[in-house]
């Protein structure tokens, strides 16, 4: 017999978005279940040993891991929230039930509302020998190094100069690993200049307008051949150069994890600015499926600060819809939305704003690459 559990709110994913969503709804009185596939809560935050960028209110200047621990403790003190770790949400079915594998058993959860906060997965890159041992994603390197204290190698080539590539380079340097170079296909560095200048000061060269042509080595990485790109990102023959290294770290972007949203028949839009396919939603993060909200990186690749605000907005709205009414809910929601707008106001968020303008309104639904499935 497969166990069926009933609850007010089901939160899928226990990263910053899921945690703040659960807390907000529980504080309004809702009974909440969080399912998290990892063995602890925190999502990406538990790997972040650096001080966070972002807004003051959303804990900028605090280390990611400390933010995660603070939220986890708060959740543990709320009797309304039940946390299932090592629990993977496996599917959404037409009868509005979610299946979860947990402790070697398959469970069904029926919730009045669901918030999907599954975060993102890393993008891969095509180059020769990209399956050679020693080629890692940045996430795997962070897990090895920051969670288990294992060095991935001695000499690393970082591919990608966005904030993740720059921050992980710095973390590698702090751990005593030599970062041989940062390779960036674009003509400009992708991440914040503060991060870039930090690693440059240590003497790490950043090659813009370059890509990896191939990983070199027979049974493991011994280096990489990098190559210059022209304006159209085409390789320029004869510009190859070899860099010796035992590890190639890929930090070439993230893509929202949206499988469950697609299963739930939420209308999707392909929005490159947000990392790929993302659900159409309103300003409360409600998707086109009335039972389902989205929050955090699953709604579009952004930052933890934005993920936490989105979680709160969705959690608050979900609680209200379930029937936990509070007289300050409207002003509270307005305040959260204002804060989120402020956070996205700067020049750095230009792309995010452009992406977000594509996920509201019906005229964008035609970009749905899954519409043929309906």
Partner 1 sequence: MVILMNEDKIVCRCEDITLKELRDMIADGYTRLDEIKRALRLGMGPCQGDICLEIAAREICRMTDKKMEDIKMPSKRPPVAGIKMSELVGDNQNEK
List interacting residues with partner 1 (CB under 8 A). 1, 37, 88-93, 99, 101, 104-106, 121, 123-124, 126-131, 214, 218, 255, 257, 259-260, 262-263, 270, 272, 276-277, 367, 369-370, 372-373
- Our CB check for ligand FAD shows the closer of 43 and 223 to be 43
Residue 372's binding partner among partner 1, ligand FAD, none (Cβ under 5 to 8 angstroms by kind) is partner 1
195 torsion bin: left (phi>0), alpha (psi -120 to 50), beta (else): alpha
CA distance 351 to 344: 10
Residue 80's binding partner among ligand FAD, partner 1, none (Cβ under 5 to 8 angstroms by kind) is none
The least CB distance from residue 124 to partner 1, in Å, is 5
- Our CB check for ligand FAD shows the closer of 39 and 327 to be 39
Q: What is the CA radius of gyration of the chain?
A: 21
Residue span 105-134 as binding mask against ligand FAD, x where in contact by CB under 6 A, dash where not: ------------xxxx--------------
148, 237 Cβ separation under 8 angstroms: no
Distances (CA, A) of 356 to 6, 16, 199, 318: 34, 20, 32, 21
Interface of this chain with ligand FAD, residues 51 to 110, rule: CB under 6 A:
52-54, 88-89
Using the rule CB under 6 A, which residue among 14, 253, 276, 355 binds ligand FAD?
A: 14
**What order do you get walking across the sheet with 247-250 strand by strand?**
135-137, 247-250, 155-159, 178-184, 206-208
Question: Could you tell me which stretch among 3-11, 16-24, 273-281, 357-365 binds ligand FAD (CB under 6 A)?
Answer: 16-24
The least CB distance from residue 258 to partner 1, in Å, is 8
Asked if 356 touches ligand FAD (CB under 6 A), the answer is: no
DSSP state of 162: S
Asked if 152 touches ligand FAD (CB under 6 A), the answer is: no
Residue 146: CA atoms inside 13 Å, Cβ hemisphere, count?
24
- Our CB check for partner 1 shows the closer of 335 and 369 to be 369
Q: What is the 3 state secondary structure string of 41-84? A: CCHHHHHCCCECCCCCCCCCCCEHHHHHHHHHHHHHCCCCEEEE
CA distance 145 to 152: 7
- Our CB check for partner 1 shows the closer of 10 and 89 to be 89
Question: Could you tell me which stretch among 32-40, 216-224, 273-281, 360-368 binds ligand FAD (CB under 6 A)?
Answer: 32-40
- What φ, ψ does residue 253 adopt, rounded to 5°? 115, 165
Asked if 23 touches ligand FAD (CB under 6 A), the answer is: no
The least CB distance from residue 342 to ligand FAD, in Å, is 14
The least CB distance from residue 366 to ligand FAD, in Å, is 27
Interface of this chain with ligand FAD, residues 240 to 269, rule: CB under 6 A:
257
85, 39 Cβ separation under 8 angstroms: yes
Judge residue 304's burial from the number of C-beta atoms within 10 Å of its C-beta, 0-12 exposed, 13-18 middle, 19 or more buried. buried
What residues have CB less than 8 Å from 237, skipping those under 6 apart? none
- Our CB check for ligand FAD shows the closer of 38 and 370 to be 38
Q: What does the binding site for ligand FAD look like in residue numbers (CB under 6 A)?
A: 12-18, 35-38, 43-45, 48, 52-54, 88-89, 117-120, 164, 167-168, 257, 296-298, 302-305, 307
């Amino acid at each position: 017999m497969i166990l069926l559990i009933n609850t007010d709110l089901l939160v899928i994913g226990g990263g910053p978005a899921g945690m703040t969503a659960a807390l907000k709804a529980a504080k309004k009185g809702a009974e909440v279940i969080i399912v998290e596939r990892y063995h602890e809560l925190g999502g990406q935050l538990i790997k972040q040993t650096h001080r966070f960028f972002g807004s003051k209110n959303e804990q900028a200047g605090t280390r990611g891991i400390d933010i995660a621990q603070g939220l986890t403790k708060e959740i543990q003190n709320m009797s309304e929230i039940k946390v299932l770790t090592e629990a993977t949400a496996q599917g959404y079915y037409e009868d509005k039930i979610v299946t979860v594998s947990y402790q070697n058993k398959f469970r069904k959860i029926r919730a009045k509302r669901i918030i999907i906060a599954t975060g993102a997965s890393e993008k891969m890159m095509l180059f020769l020998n990209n399956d050679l041992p020693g080629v890692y994603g940045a996430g795997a390197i962070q897990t090895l190094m920051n969670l288990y204290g294992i060095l991935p190698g001695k000499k690393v080539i970082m591919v990608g100069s966005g904030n993740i590539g720059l921050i992980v380079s710095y973390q590698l340097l702090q751990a005593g690993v030599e970062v041989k170079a940062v390779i960036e296909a674009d003509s400009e560095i992708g991440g914040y200049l503060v991060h870039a200048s930090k690693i440059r000061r240590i003497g790490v060269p950043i090659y813009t307008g370059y890509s990896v042509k191939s990983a070199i080595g027979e049974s493991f990485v011994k280096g990489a051949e990098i190559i210059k790109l022209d304006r159209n990102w085409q390789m320029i023959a004869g510009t190859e150069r070899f860099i010796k290294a035992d590890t190639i770290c890929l930090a070439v972007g993230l893509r929202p994890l949206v499988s469950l949203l697609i299963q739930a028949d939420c209308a999707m839009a392909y929005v490159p600015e947000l990392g790929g396919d993302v659900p159409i939603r309103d300003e409360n993060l409600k998707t086109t499926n009335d039972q389902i909200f989205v929050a955090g990186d699953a709604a579009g690749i952004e930052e933890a600060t934005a993920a936490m605000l989105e979680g709160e907005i969705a959690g608050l709205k979900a609680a209200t819809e379930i029937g936990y009414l509070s007289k300050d809910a409207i002003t509270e929601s307005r305040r959260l939305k204002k804060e989120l707008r402020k956070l996205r106001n700067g020049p750095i968020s230009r792309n995010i704003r452009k992406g977000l303008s594509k996920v509201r309104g019906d005229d964008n639904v035609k970009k749905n690459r899954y519409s043929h499935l309906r």
